[in-house]
Structure 1
Amino acid sequence: MIAWLKGVIHSRTFNSCIIDVQGIGYEVLMMQSDLGRLPANDQVVQVHTAAIYREDSATLYGFLSGQNKEAFIILNTASGVGPKMALSILDFHDANQLSLLIAQGNYQALMRAKGVGQKLAKRLVIDLKGKIICRAQPDLSMQSPDTIELAVEALSKLGFSEGKARDMLKGVEAQSVEEMIKQALQQA
């Protein structure tokens, strides 16, 4: 198993790059977001890799973050998710966001990733709950926009203006809508 590659970027395409490691060119498929963050050609790079072996092929997938690599491997264990779908999901939601969305059961936000429909999103929540671990402390910026909007809507129904509701939610570190509302009301 190839855990990582450290070498010089030889070239890149729409969805991959070729890394020259001591004269051997490894083609590594990557997320668009990681490809955009790679240094220029002829510069040294290190990528975490996951190898997927099929009957007719062996493919390397690369990640600038070890957490995204772990999430990629775990996503591939879910029913209906292959390597390309896993890359698509991680390109839209990094490992920490994905962990939070799954923990919240927020399948609607998962549906924003290309190719993820309602059925697959619900299956991801069921299959992956407790498997992808968030490495960062949750804060308002890590919460899904859906969760924040639901909390704002709920506070508005309680009589607060939208601006006041958003101010009340600043600094709230809860992961569920209910917890967010409770904390916001306690701070008001």
Structure 2
Amino acid sequence: MIGRLKGILVEKQAPEVLLDVHGVGYELQMPLTSFYELPAIGEEALIYTHFVVREDAQLLYGFITKQERSLFRLLIKANGVGPKLALTILSGMTAQEFVGCVERDDIATLVKLPGVGKKTAERLLVEMRDKLKSLMETSMGSEREFVLQSNFTPAVEESSAEEDAIAALLALGYKPPQASKAVSAAYREGMDSETLIKAALKSML
């Protein structure tokens, strides 16, 4: 199993990144909470990974910390939650916020995420309550490591911040009208795509 990768960020198109590791390009999908923490294109990053093999695909998921990856692994073990939904959950809220929802039995916040209905939210609250205790004993942000690289030419970003933000929300399962409306409402002049995605997601929770 691929446990972690360290390489140069070649492309960033939320929620996907392309990481060059000694000439081999690895495509990873990352929750937006991890995606926001990545360095700029052309810099080096250490990403913890979880590898999923299906009949029709081999998928690699990336995380900034081991704890965030551990939470992802707990989520996909829950009844009715697959990797895509786990990615959506961790994109809509930080690990700490998710733990807070579980501790407060906050179904209302969870059901605002695409793909999380009332029954799924109820199951998550029950199944995750005990599992999260050991996970949160260590800091969620203690495993970050970025190394700057100055000899790499960044790729040119051709799409606009609004297009990038809408594409990211669609990839996470939001419906096109919902994504477009949230991005339009959140957009302010001069916003980059990552800031806009954050604002759009926050407006829907």
TM-score, reference length from structure 2: 0.62
Report Cα offsets for 1:122-146 as digits up to 9, x if no partner. 0111222211232379xxxxxxxxx
Distance change in 2, residues 1:91/1:109 (3 Å): same
Following superposition of structure 1 onto structure 2, how do residues 114-129 of structure 1 map, counting pairs within 5 Å? 114-129=114-129
Q: Is the contact made by 2:33 and 2:93 (CA closer than 8 Å) also made in structure 1?
A: no
Unaligned runs of 5+ in 1: 138-188
Please identify the structure whose Cα radius of gyration is greater: 1
Q: Shift of the alpha carbon at 1:112? A: 2.8
Say yes or no: does 1:96 pair with 2:96: yes
| Cα distance in 2 between the residues matched to 1:72 and 1:104 | 20
TM-score, reference length from structure 1: 0.67
| Cα distance in 2 between the residues matched to 1:81 and 1:70 | 15
Number of residue-to-residue matches in the alignment: 137
Following superposition of structure 1 onto structure 2, how do residues 68-147 of structure 1 map, counting pairs within 5 Å? 68-133=68-133, 134-135=136-137
Alpha-carbon RMSD: 1.8
Say yes or no: does 1:34 pair with 2:34: yes
| Aligned-partner residue type, residue 20 of structure 2 | D
Q: Shift of the alpha carbon at 1:92? A: 2.0
Distance change in 2, residues 1:92/1:38 (3 Å): same
1:18 corresponds in structure 2 to 18
| Cα distance in 2 between the residues matched to 1:105 and 1:26 | 38
Q: Is the contact made by 1:103 and 1:130 (CA closer than 8 Å) also made in structure 2?
A: no
| Aligned-partner residue type, residue 37 of structure 1 | E
| Aligned-partner residue type, residue 68 of structure 1 | E
4+ runs of 1 displaced by more than 3 Å? none
| Cα distance in 1 between the residues matched to 2:51 and 2:138 | 26
Q: Is the contact made by 1:96 and 1:136 (CA closer than 8 Å) also made in structure 2?
A: no
Q: Is the contact made by 1:16 and 1:30 (CA closer than 8 Å) also made in structure 2?
A: yes
Q: Is the contact made by 2:32 and 2:92 (CA closer than 8 Å) also made in structure 1?
A: no
Report Cα offsets for 1:57-94 as digits up to 9, x if no partner. 21110011221110100100111111111011111222
Q: Percent identity?
A: 34
Q: Shift of the alpha carbon at 1:121? A: 0.4
Secondary structure at the counterpart of residue 132 of structure 1: helix
Unaligned runs of 5+ in 2: 140-205
Q: Is the contact made by 1:95 and 1:132 (CA closer than 8 Å) also made in structure 2?
A: no
